[in-house]
Amino acid sequence: MNKTFDRWVRIAVTLSAALVVSACVSSNTQQFGNKDSDAAAGYNLQLGIDYLRQGNLSEAKAKLDRALTQNPKNPQVNFAAGLLYDHLNDDKKADEYYNRAVTLDPKNAEILNGYAVFLCRKGDRQKGERIAAKAAADPLYKTPEVALMNAGNCALDAGRATKAEEYFRRALRVQPNFPAALLQMAELELKGANYLPARGFLERYQQAAKANPASLWLGVRIESALGNTATAADYARRLKQDFPTSDETKALLELERKNNS
C-alpha cells in the first residue's frame, strides 16, 4: 500500500468534514442553551473554522474556546474543537472533544465520520471502522461513500484487504465516479496481480479526476506489469515532470536506479 496515497485520501476526507461542519453552523447552533449565547457561539464557531482552514491555529483556538464557553453543549462546537486539537497533535484533547460531540449528537453522520477518521489515523481501527460504517448506514447522510471510504481505509490498515475491498466497492455503488475509491481499487487489483482490472479502475479515475502523483505512479506500475513499456514510460515522464519532489517520483527514480544497475 502506497503510504503517500493513503495519507492523501485521509486528508481529503478530514478537510471535507471540516467544511461540512462550517456549512452546518447556521442550522444547528441554536438548538442548545439560550438564543443569545447560541448565536454568539455560532458566530465564533464560524470564525474558528475559517481560521482553522487558513492554518491560523492560535486564532482558531481563541474563537473556539470562546464558542465553547458560550455554548459547551453544542456538538458542532465540540467537533470543531476536536479538529483543532487534532491539528495541534494533542490526541487526548482531540479525542475528548470528538467523543463529546458524538455523545451530544449520536445520530449526526458527519460527526461520526469525522471521529472515525481520527480514530483510524491514531490506530484504533476497529472502533474507527465501526463508527464509519454506522455513519454510512444513515439513510439521511448525503455522502455515505466518504464514510465507506474511511471504513475501508481502517480495514486496510488493519490488514483486512478483503473487507476493505468490500467497503470500496460499496462506495462505488453509491458514487461510481468517486476518485478515492477508484484509486484504492486500482491499487488493490494491482497488488493482487489483476492487472487489467487495475487498469480499468485507473482509467475510470482518469475520467473523474485530475492526475496526481499516486495515479501516475499506479499507471507506471500497472503498464509495466502488462508489458506496455511505452505507456509506462509516458506515465513515468509525466510523474517526473509534473511532480518532481513527490514521494512517488522518488520511488520511481529508485526503481530506475535498480533496474539500470
- Asked if the model's pLDDT at residue 204 lies above 60, the reply is yes
Confidence (pLDDT) at 38: 80
Q: Please check the confidence at residue 18 and state whether its pLDDT lies above 60.
A: no
pLDDT band at 151, cuts 50/70/90?
Answer: very high
Model pLDDT, residue 127? 96
pLDDT > 70 in the chain, percent? 86
pLDDT, tens digit, 9 for 90 and up, residues 87-143: 999 999 999 999 999 999 999 999 999 999 999 999 999 999 999 999 999 999 999
Pick one of 3.30.1600.10, 1.25.40.10, 3.30.470.10, 3.40.50.2000 as the CATH number of 1-106.
1.25.40.10
| CATH level 3 topology of 177-261 | 1.25.40
Average of pLDDT values for 216-237?
Answer: 98
pLDDT for residue 22: 41
Asked if the model's pLDDT at residue 205 lies above 60, the reply is yes
Q: Where is pLDDT greater, at 34 or 242? A: 242
Compute the distance between CA of residue 201 and CA of residue 161 in angstroms, rounded to an integer. 17
Cell 487526548 belongs to 92
CA 147, distance to chain mean position in Å, is 9
- Any residues with CB less than 8 A from the CB of 228 and at least 6 apart, and which? none
Cα-only R_g, the chain: 21
Question: How high is the pLDDT of residue 20?
Answer: 43
What is the per-residue pLDDT for 34?
Answer: 61
* pLDDT digits 0-9 by tens, 171-199: 999 999 999 999 999 999 999 999 999 99
DSSP 38-53: HHHHHHHHHHHHHHHH
User: What per-residue confidence (pLDDT) applies to 37?
Assistant: 76
What is d(CA 81, CA 77) in angstroms, rounded to the nearest whole number? 6
Question: What is the spatial distance between Cα 31 and Cα 123, in angstroms, rounded to a whole number?
Answer: 34
58: its cell numbers: 492560535
CA angle 167, 173, 176 (to 5 degrees): 110
Ramachandran class of 33: left when φ > 0, alpha when ψ lies in -120 to 50, beta otherwise: left
Cα 110 to Cα 75, 81, 185, 243, distances in angstroms = 11, 15, 24, 33
Q: How many Å apart are CA 121 and CA 95, to the nearest integer?
A: 12
Contacts of 93 (CB under 8 A, 6+ apart): 81, 85
Model confidence at 234: pLDDT above 90: yes
The predicted model gives 207-215 an average pLDDT of: 96
Q: Report the amino acid identity of residue 258.
A: K
Provide the terminal-to-terminal Cα distance of the chain, rounded to the nearest Å.
Answer: 26
**Set of cell numbers at residue 28:** 444547528
Residue 261 is predicted with a pLDDT of 81
pLDDT for 39: 86
